[in-house]
Amino acid sequence: MVEDEQGDAQLVLLALRNAGNVFFEVTHVDTLAKAQQQLSLQSFNVVLLDLSLPDSFGLDTLRAIKQTAHGAAIIVLTGQYDTEFALNALEIGAADYLVKGEFSPDSLIRAIRYTLQRIEMDAHNRLLVAALEAAANGIVITDCEGHLEWVNPAFCKLTGYDLQEVMGKQPGGLVKSGLQDQAFYQTMWETIRRGETWRGEIVNKRKNGEFYDEALSIAPVRDETGAIRHYIGIKDDISERKRMEQELQKLARTDSLTGLFNRRVFLERLELEVARLVRLETLPIALLMLDLDYFKRINDSYGHAMGDVVLSHFAELITATVRTIDVAARLGGEEFGILLPGADQADALAMAERLREKVAAAILPHEKGEIRYTVSIGIAALSVTDANCEQALHRADAALYTAKANGRNQCCLFER
Domain boundary among 188, 205, 238: 238
CATH (domain of 29): 3.40.50.2300
pTM to 2 decimal places: 0.59
Burial environment of residue 144 by CB neighbours within 10 A (0 to 12, 13 to 18, 19 or more):
middle
CA distance 114 to 246: 57
DSSP 8-state code for residue 284 = -
Is 247 a member of any domain? no
What tens digit of pLDDT does each residue of 182-202 get?
A: 999 999 999 999 999 999 999
Q: How many CB atoms lie within 10 A of CB 151?
A: 23
The rounded distance, in Å, linking the Cα atoms of 221 and 91 is 30
What percent of the chain is helix, strand and coil (3-state, nearest 5)?
A: 45, 25, 30
Mean pLDDT of 369-377: 93
Q: Which pLDDT score is estimated for 20?
A: 72
In this predicted structure, what is the pLDDT of residue 31?
Answer: 95
Same domain for 88 and 167, yes or no, is no
> Which ranges constitute the DSSP H helices of 32-104?
32-41, 59-68, 83-92
Q: What is the pLDDT of residues 228-276, one digit of tens each?
A: 999 999 999 999 999 998 888 888 899 989 999 999 999 999 998 888 8
Give CA–CA dist 349/415, Å, rounded: 13
Q: What is the mean pLDDT of residues 107-113?
A: 87
Does residue 150 share a domain with residue 165? yes
pLDDT at position 84 is 82
Nearest-angstrom CA–CA distance, 122 and 313: 69
Q: Is the pLDDT of residue 325 over 90?
A: yes
249 falls within a domain: no
Residues 237 and 243: beta-carbon distance below 8 Å: no
> 404 with 298, same domain?
yes
- 86 pLDDT exceeds 90? no
Q: Which residue range(s) make up the domain with 148?
A: 135-238
Clarify whether residues 360 and 259 are in a common domain.
yes
Answer whether residue 168 is part of any domain. yes
Give yes or no: residues 334 and 308 share one domain: yes
CA distances, 201 to each of 10, 181, 207, 212, 246 (Å): 66, 13, 19, 11, 15
Tell which of 131, 153, 185 closes a domain: 131
| CA atoms of 339 and 273, how far apart (whole Å) | 9
Between CA 142 and CA 168 the distance in angstroms is 8
- pLDDT band for 172, please (50, 70, 90 cuts): confident
Question: Same domain for 261 and 402?
Answer: yes
Same domain, 285 and 404: yes
Evaluate whether residue 243 is within a structural domain.
Answer: no
Question: Residue 219 is inside which H or E element, if any?
Answer: strand 211-222
Residue 336 pLDDT exceeds 80: yes
Residues 56 and 73 occupy one common structural domain: yes
Q: Is 311 exposed, middle or buried (0-12, 13-18, 19+ CB in 10 A)?
A: buried
Of 246, 348, 378, 364, the C-alpha closest to 313 is 364
Task: Give the lowest-confidence range in 145-149, 156-160, 211-215, 368-372.
Answer: 368-372
Q: Evaluate if residue 22 carries a pLDDT over 90.
A: no
Based on the fold, state whether residues 292 and 304 are members of the same structural domain.
yes
For residue 150, tell me if it sits in a domain.
yes
Q: What is the overall mean pLDDT for the chain?
A: 91
Q: Are residues 119 and 227 in the same domain?
A: no
Q: How confident is the model at residue 82 (pLDDT cuts 50, 70, 90)?
A: confident
pLDDT at residue 48 in the model? 95
Single-letter code of the amino acid located at 195: G
User: Residue 167: its pLDDT value, please?
Assistant: 93
Q: Domain for residue 344, yes or no?
A: yes
**What pLDDT score was predicted for residue 288?**
97
Same domain, 77 and 180: no
Nearest alpha-carbon partner for 171 in 135, 207, 200, 222: 207
The predicted structure's pLDDT at residue 247: 85
Q: Is residue 222 part of a domain?
A: yes
Highest mean pLDDT among 124-128, 158-162, 248-252: 158-162
Edge-to-edge order in the sheet of strand 411-413: 327-332, 335-341, 285-292, 375-381, 411-413
Query: Number of folded domains in the chain?
Result: 3
Instruction: Identify the domain boundary among 210, 238, 266.
Output: 238
- Quote the pLDDT of residue 204: 95
| Alpha carbons 176 and 164: distance in angstroms, whole number | 19
C-alpha radius of gyration, the chain, whole number: 41
Burial class for 281, CB neighbours closer than 10 Å (0-12, 13-18, 19+): exposed
Q: Which residues of 33-44 are buried (b: 16+ CB within 10 A; e: fewer)?
A: ebbbebbeeeeb
Q: Domain holding 210: CATH number?
A: 3.30.450.20
Average pLDDT over residues 91-110: 85
Phi, psi of 199 (to 5 degrees): -130, 140
Q: Residue 369: what pLDDT?
A: 82
Task: Output the domain CATH number for residue 386.
Answer: 3.30.70.270
Taking the CB of residue 231, how many other CB atoms lie within 10 A of it? 22
pLDDT category at 74 given cuts 50, 70, 90 is very high
Residues 394 and 309 reside in one and the same domain: yes
Place 335 in a pLDDT band, splitting at 50, 70 and 90.
very high
Q: In this prediction, what percent of the chain has a pLDDT beyond 70? A: 99
Question: Looking at the domain assignment, is residue 301 inside a domain?
Answer: yes
